[in-house]
Structure 1
Amino acid sequence: MRKLVFALCSSVCMAQTNQYTKILLSKKIGKEVYSYSGGYGTVYDPKTKTRSIVDSLGNITFESKYSISHIFKNRFILTSEEPNYKTKSAVIDEKGNQLLSLNDQSFNTPWLSEKYIISSKQEKEAVYDYNGRQIIPYFDRIRFVAEDCFFVLKDKSWFLYDLEGKQVSSREFKEDYHFENDKALITNEDNQSEIIGKNGETLHKFSKKIYDLTSYPFLITRNRATGKYGLIDTEENILADEIYDDASPEYFGTKEYVYLRKKGKATVFNKKDKKLYPANFKYLTPLFNDLFSVYSDQLNKSGITSLQGDIIVPQEYDFIRSFRISGKDFIYLKKGKEEKFLDKDLKNILEENTQIIAFYPDQLIIKKQDSYYTFSVLDKSASVLKDIVFIKEQEPDFFNIFNVYSKPVVCRNNDNLYGIIDEKGNKIIPFIYDDIIVFENSENEIVVKKKDKYGVLNFQNEPLKDIIYDKYYWQKEVLKLDKDKKTDILYFTRFKNSGSRL
């Protein structure tokens, strides 16, 4: 069985993951490291009931009877646990130096900011930087509403402040509005919808009620009386009457459209030509070049339509999705065992009886007859993957906004042993296992089997659990492993899939 190898590195070592460093540190110091990132981790000793900070080399830099929470790098929150149920907190560095003194306060770390922290004390809030300098004094409430501004509540009104703690406008606001792309949608003193900038200045004011500004400068409206949705521009020109049951912007991708629905059918607003395109479909997913995949509830099948509503591909496919490979757009279609990969001219670039196994940013992995290949979409060239007799496939529903491309693939070689290769065919997990189980989600953990025992690796080939377990169970965010009627657990980390760029 494979044993953990001690190979601790300094915090500048980027090849070793935080997950693996945490495990190595736990082995080295003989205590469980509960968290690790940015060169430091936190430790709890159940025997002495003390908490500690450990650096990347396994040195205990600070120890306390109080709770220690890691914020980022060498910044931590120290929290006392008093018998009278009152708590005191401080911001400390890795050596326990108090940058914000232990006091009757709690902390809010907005967006895990590495510059600012909000202190709450006696029902008041203030902003400090992580060196202990006060940026904004204590007021009723403070909210971090953009990367470079705060809303501060005082005398029952909200005011805008910048990162230097200066009030940028005398204007009073009813709420702590959130900014997106330097703009916020508010309801002003006259109960009108208004868009403001980060200095509180009026950018646009409207007679209609604005529902959403995600597609700015095109704005979704909602009729106050009927609750129906429409669309206008910033000059309040009507682009779509308020007759729709719902409306939604395109949140991801190229964001070229706004979708308005009425009686179960969508109308598409195209931002480029500022026109409406009624469709006979409820569900449309943009592909490229004003093409959409359309799904039928009744048929449980998908097809392709143009923006004008022309059926390009009938609704008879099990799966349709667009991919961008080597800087070019393609559409993948699957129907039973039939697969197509269409270029921008909607021509299939695959030979007959070719199966796509994995999609990567620069190329594909395909199967023809009984052999596997890497495949270039640019020159249609294929290079055989030697000694690979089987590749485990991923289900089509694996792909979503978080999993744009395939994970590295699990393969079996001529010796009937399993390993994992990346998009270029390079081995990233050696072919020494009887089986490998990859979870069809966005997990970075891999269960490996050898001689009827199980262990855990990650995609970086780091051993997370020795191969000593009799069974494993996948339960939401936790992987459970059983041995001798005892269960060990391992929490999943999320796998940010980017082809071979692990």
Structure 2
Amino acid sequence: MAQTNQYTKILLSKKTGKEVNSYSGGYGTIYDSKTKTRGIVDSLGNITYESASGISHIFKNRFILTAEEPGNKTKSAVIDEKGNQLLPLDNQSFNTPWLSEKRIISSKDGKEAVYDFNGKQIIPYSDRIQFAEEDRFFVLKDKKWFLYDFDGKQISSREFKEDYHFENGKALILNENNQSEIIGKEGQTLHQFSAQIYSLAAYPYLITKNRATGKYGLIDSEENILAEEMYDEATPEYFGAKEYIYLRKKGKATVFSNKDKKLYPGNFKYLTPLFNDLFSVYSDKSKKTGMVNLNGDIIVPLEYDFIQSFSISGKDFVYLKKGEEEKFLDQDLKNILEENTRIIAFYPDQLIIKKQDIYYTFSVLNKAESPLKDIVFIKEQEPDFFNIFNLYSKPAVCRNGSNLYGVMNEKGKEIIPFIYDDIIMFENSENEIVVKKQEKYGVVNFQNEPLKDIIYDKYYWQKEVLKLDKDKKTDILYFTRFKNSGSRL
């Protein structure tokens, strides 16, 4: 019941004797190399439909059937798991942005229409149709764009010059008077500006761009000027708390604080927010990193190799590394680590540390340490692994006293048994782990599901593919992303 789609695909391939190309939502697509046919398979291994035509999986029990016709013509249909045509085979192509489970756009004879996945037409064939948000379309008729909802109802009679994309229920447009305007999902005017708005990514603050000079500035939604149009760049904070906007001029950044609506000039081009209006900064000259506050005062000298913020047990910390020296500072900038302590892994609720050749789990709340029994070595991840997508360490690859490798999660629980001569993880967030036993290689994942038998002589990592060699033949396994967001395994 808990097995992954990745492993289900492998099991179904073995059960059916055919290659299962994809699997999700209880169904997958298969290919028979002997008969050159494709088909649909359910979770029990029953082949529910077969065809000589192409089949691609949209979601659950919905698929696109593609048939090659004489004269290099292609016909397509939307089918269910049994091959029933919900949208009949025709000279059309389909657009399914965001893998929508509600609507699909059909393109035919230079026109486009919207259907649901039961074959009901929602919006008739028009010159062009674009998804604007999860429940909005822009429809082009007679060289004018109109806004529609997902039920095919035209929301207003307002005409637009272009199709636009909504973010958080708002879209930045150029109106009939060539003015920047922000509209809502009903097409209504929310704000209209005399200045040229470049981006609303920092809304309710708006980045402006001077038409004559190309310089950037900042205003609020009432068009009050917060920063004059004098900057070479203007970049909102796209991730995290989104507390700041960075305005750069001549290689130096001025920080706009959303909290107090003030500008703070600085001496560094790039700043990475930590917490409490503190930032890490990097010197191109010394190749070292330090910390400054919002006023630009240096709080930690630019002499560290690596600085990164972490949220552990609901509290903010910043990790600093300089050679063999490591510090883990709390919100009062006090180091909570004892001398000669190294941090091996960072997890949402605790750390794994090393002291005097012994590994421990470490609570940042009460500084309690619990030794990891029979663990003599843990493979560490390089500091550059950590970024906005990799907030925490992967589960730990460990070696025990018997010189065998396994993997433990953040609680010290074994999730891959200690039976291997080696285990190789990949620095990117991949869910595939190469295991080695008696000079042969295989592949498992973090759920300890066997993806490839331990029979291969070599392995290669090539972009999105893991290649494994045996007897001068190569098998491939496509990587799937391991979402390292602190979720429990």
Name the TM-score, length of structure 2 as normaliser: 0.99
- 2:473 matched to 1:453? no
Q: Find 2:196's aligned residue among 209, 231, 234.
A: 209
> Residue 37 of structure 1 contacts residue 72 of structure 1 at CA under 8 Å; is this kept in 2?
yes
Q: 1:189 aligns with which of 176, 180, 187?
A: 176
Residue of structure 2 aligned with 1:331, choices 288, 309, 318: 318
Give yes or no for contact 1:117–1:127 (8 Å, CA) kept in 2.
Answer: yes
Question: 3-state DSSP class of the match of 1:167?
Answer: coil
Contact in 2 for aligned 1:422/1:499 (Cα 8 Å): no
- Secondary structure in 1 matching 2:460: strand
Q: What secondary structure, in the 3-state scheme, does the structure 2 residue paired with 1:25 have?
A: helix
Let me know the Cα RMSD of the aligned residues. 0.8
Equivalent residue letter for 1:218: Y
Q: Distance in 1 between matches of 2:342 and 2:473?
A: 43
Per-residue deviation at 1:500?
5.2
User: Once the 2 structures are TM-superposed, how far is the Cα of residue 83 of structure 1 from its aligned partner?
Assistant: 2.4
* Letter aligned with residue 153 of structure 2: K
**What is the aligned partner in structure 2 of residue 149 from structure 1?**
136
> What is the rounded CA distance, in whole Å, between the counterparts of 1:81 and 1:421 in structure 2?
50
**Aligned positions of 1:17-28 closer than 5 A:** 17-28=4-15
Residues 422 and 500 in structure 1, CA contact (< 8 A), matched pair in contact too: no
Deviation at 1:298, TM superposition (A): 1.1
* One-letter amino acid of the structure 2 residue matched with residue 474 of structure 1: W
Alignment equivalent of 2:279, drawn from 270, 286, 292: 292
Runs of 4+ aligned structure 1 residues displaced above 6 Å come to none
Question: Aligned AA for 1:497?
Answer: N
Query: 1:392 and 1:203 mapped to 2: Cα distance?
Result: 54
Select which of 224, 233, 237 maps to 2:211.
Answer: 224
Report the secondary structure of 2:214's partner residue.
coil
For residues 195 and 374 of structure 1, the distance between their equivalents in structure 2, rounded to whole angstroms, comes to: 51
The residue number in structure 1 matching 2:237 is: 250
Question: 1:134 pairs with 110, 121, 130, which one?
Answer: 121
Distance 1:265 1:380 in 2: 40
1:29 aligned to 2:20?
no
Structure 1 position 45, deviation (Å): 1.1
SS at match of 1:80: strand
Secondary structure in 2 matching 1:195: strand
Deviation at 1:498, TM superposition (A): 2.6
For 1:498 and 1:177, the matched residues in 2 are separated by 32
Gaps of 5+ in 1: 1-12
Q: Matches of 2:388 and 2:330 in 1, distance apart? A: 21
Q: How many residues align?
A: 489
For 1:6, the equivalent position in structure 2 comes to: none
How far apart in 1 are the matches of 2:129 and 2:120?
16
Contact 1:366 1:375 in 2 (8 A): yes
Q: Does 1:73 align with 2:76?
A: no
C-alpha deviation, 1:48, in angstroms: 1.3
Q: Aligned partners of 1:117, 1:378: CA distance in 2, in Å? A: 51
CA distance in 1, matches of 2:454, 2:114: 49
- Give the corresponding residue for 1:442: 429
With structure 1 as the length reference, what TM-score do the two structures score?
Answer: 0.97
Identity level (%)? 82
RCO greater where, 1 or 2, for CA within 8 Å and sep 6 or more? 1
Check the 8 A contact 1:408/1:499 in 2, yes or no: no
Q: Report the CA distance between 1:162 and its aligned residue.
A: 0.6
Query: What secondary structure does 2:8 align onto?
Result: helix
Indicate if the aligned counterparts of 1:423 and 1:499 stay in contact, CA closer than 8 A. Answer: no
1:446 deviation in Å? 0.5
In the TM superposition, 1:29-428 aligns within 5 A as 29-428=16-415
Name which of 464, 487, 490 aligns with 2:474.
Answer: 487
* Partner Cα distance (1:22, 1:84) in 2: 35
Q: CA deviation at 1:92?
A: 0.7
- Structure 2 letter corresponding to 1:381: A
Q: 1:474 aligns with which of 461, 464, 468?
A: 461
Is 1:322–1:331's contact at 8 Å kept on the other side of the alignment? yes
Larger displacement relative to structure 2 (80-89 or 305-314): 80-89
Deviation at 1:46, TM superposition (A): 2.1
Shift of 1:85: 1.0
Distance in 1 between residues matched to 2:486 and 2:240, nearest whole Å: 18
* In 2, Cα distance between equivalents of 1:477 and 1:88: 31
Give the CA deviation at 1:499. Answer: 3.1
CA distance in 1, matches of 2:218, 2:469: 57
SS of the residue aligned with 2:11?
Answer: helix
Q: Distance in 2 between matches of 1:418 and 1:469?
A: 18
